[in-house]
Copies of this chain bind each other. A is one copy, B any other.
Amino acid sequence: MATIPAGTSTPHIMIDVEQLEKNIEKMAHRVASQGLKMRPHAKTHKMLEVAGRQLEAGAVGLTVATVGEALSFALQGVAKIFIAYPLWVDESQAQRIQELMKRAKLSIGTDSVEAVEQMARMLGPQAAKIRLMIEIDSGHHRSGVSPHDALAIAEAARAAGMRVHGVFTFPGHSYNPDGIDCAVNDEHKTLAEATRILRAGGCTIKRISGGSTPTAALSDNSVLTEVRPGVYVFGDAQQYELGRTGFDEIALTVAATVVSRHEGNEQIPRRVVLDAGSKILGSDRPAWATGYGRIAECLDARISALSEHHATVLWPENLELPAHGTQLQVIPNHVCQAVNLVDSVLAVHPDGSSELWDVAARGLNF
């Protein structure tokens, strides 16, 4: 973890560039050694500086969640983009997708006959060039269809002159302390079944895409052809508490300052307050998490409450409270939320020098 550069105003997101590069290299190697392709999810970082390092390390393209994110990366030169989201394409989306297709090879997710027919209507002849990816529900029960409903979508695509390129899923139930092995099994089983059904129905399935940082490291090419992890580049408190990221692997923190300090008494908790609140850490807090993030300098401390500009931190009883003005590094619970709250991050190099990286795709929700 990099040291906070002198003179840093807080709260400020910091990236340890050396650790970031190690994380990218490690996952690239692991995924390649399993015979899988890497199509990392860029919603986590939204930065060309990170995407460039992922592509240099062998990623075959980027995954994104929105047309806006896709355009941002395409305009910066990324040539292969997968929008892993069941888009409902309206007229304004259609115009932007046409723009996008001038610059990048595009695959788009879908999970319904209706969305495929809408896409074909809105994009006209251009629709034939899109690589459709059918989203399968592997147990997260968000978007995605059961393997048995995939063929109807493929047939609608064929009827509309579009082509199905593959299947994908997001095993979101892997974000659970007991859920990881089960989620990996579910992911493989449902994607295998969907592929079997689609191939039996005459489809050529070229891409079988699995997701998530927790499962990517456990996947192999027995079913999948690729994975789409996102959070692994930085790690976060959720992945640390799930045991999927080591403390030493955390590459992003929020530099924060002790602005308030209270010894407490029987009625009032002993605490410090940091100036990093939910407007820089994000408010995500799964029921199993121990708090709203972790303090790098004191893993036994707990962020018991989070306001927009305050983190209330319960400090271990046996340790002295840090002094007013002390700068500490907070590990956010969910790094994708934190990065999306700032326009730039402070990238710190091993020699201690630092520079600002632009979060170019921040806030591009559509």
A residues in contact (CB < 8 Å) with B: 7, 9-12, 43, 65-66, 85-88, 90-93, 111-112, 114-115, 118, 137, 141-146, 172, 257-262, 268-269, 271, 273, 275, 278-280, 282-285, 305, 307-310, 312, 323-325, 336-337, 340-343, 363, 365-366
Contact = CB atoms under 8 A, between A and B. Distances in A.
Contacts of A282: 278, 283
A9 B283 contact: no
Contacts of A114: 261, 323-325
Contact of A9 (B12, B92, B112): B92
Contacts of A308: 43, 65, 336-337, 340
B310 A279 contact: no
Contact of A10 (B65, B310, B366): B366
A10 B68 CA distance: 11
Contacts of A285: 283
Contacts of A90: 7, 9, 257, 325
A283 B91 contact: no
A115 B269 contact: no
Given A65-B308, A308-B340, 12 more contacts: A11-B366, A90-B257, A112-B324, A114-B261, A114-B325, A118-B325, A141-B268, A142-B260, A143-B260, A143-B273, A145-B262, A341-B363
A329 to B, nearest CB: 15
- As for how many copies of this chain the complex holds, the number is 2
Nearest to A89: B325
A172 B363 CA distance: 28
A187 B363 CA distance: 37
A276 B47 CA distance: 22
A342 B325 contact: no
Contacts of A10: 366
17 contacts: A9-B366, A87-B259, A88-B325, A114-B261, A114-B324, A115-B259, A118-B324, A118-B325, A142-B312, A143-B310, A145-B262, A275-B366, A279-B365, A282-B283, A283-B337, A308-B336, A309-B365
Closest 4 CB pairs of A and B: A143-B260, A114-B324, A283-B283, A9-B366
